[in-house]
Amino acid sequence: MMAPRSPGWPIALLVCLALAFGARVARAESAAIVEQHGQWEMSYGAVYYRVFGYVENKSSKPIRYVKLQLDLVDANGKAVYSTVGYNQKAEALGTVEGEGAETLKKAPPAEMMKKIEPIKPGEKDLFRIGVSKDDIPKKPKFKTYQLKIVEVK
C-alpha cells in the first residue's frame, strides 16, 4: 500500500527548483560577455550571420566552458531563430569546425572535457556563433540579435 504523500511535498519541490535555479544563475554570473558584434559573412560561397565576441571568467576558479544562446529577433522582439554555441576553447562541445573536430565529438563527455583548456580566472576567450542564411526564416525577418549566457561550468 502506498503511503500518503506529505502535504509539504509541493513546498519541498519549489525549494529544490529555487535552489537549482539560483545555483545556475550564480554560475552564469561567474562569466560575462564583454564584447560582441554581429555581421554577415560569406565563406566558400555560403552566407552566414555570425556573432563574435569575448567572454570573461569573472570568478576565482577556472571555467571549463561557457554556453551561449543566440536569438535572432524580429521587429517585435520575438525570436525567429535560436541556437547555442560555446566559447572557442570549448567549441568541441557544440558545432565543431576544423581538423580533429570529429575525433573530439566521438569522445565520451568526460574524455572530451579533459581536452578542453579551461578559461583561467580573469582570462577572456573568444566565441563565435554562426547561423547559415539557409536556416534563417525569411519571414518575419530578424532585425537584431540577443545573446545570453545559459550555462557556465
Partner 1 sequence: MTRIGKSVIGLALMCLLGAAVIPSGARAADKVNINTASEQELMKLPDVNEARAKGIVGYRKSNGEFIQVDELELIPQVKPIYNKIKDLVVVE
Catalog residues that contact partner 1 under the rule CB under 8 A. Answer: 39-42, 47, 49, 133-134, 136, 138, 141-143
Residue 41 CB, shortest distance to partner 1, in Å, is: 8
Instruction: Tell me which H or E stretch contains 104.
Output: helix 101-106
Strand order in the sheet with 124-132: 31-43, 46-57, 124-132
How far apart are CB 136 and partner 1 at their closest, in Å?
6
Which of 52, 118 has the CB closer to partner 1?
A: 52
Nearest approach in angstroms of CB 85 to partner 1 is: 20
| 40: CB partners within 8 A, 6+ apart | 47, 48, 49, 50
Closer of 23 and 46 to partner 1 (Cβ): 46
Q: Is the dihedral of CA 127, 131, 133, 138 positive or negative?
A: negative
CA–CA separation, 151 vs 112, rounded Å? 17
CB of 130 to partner 1, least distance (A): 14
Q: Distance (Å, rounded) from C-alpha 34 to C-alpha 40?
A: 21
The residue among 64 and 128 lying less far from partner 1, judged by its C-beta, is 128
143 vs 148, which CB is nearer to partner 1?
A: 143
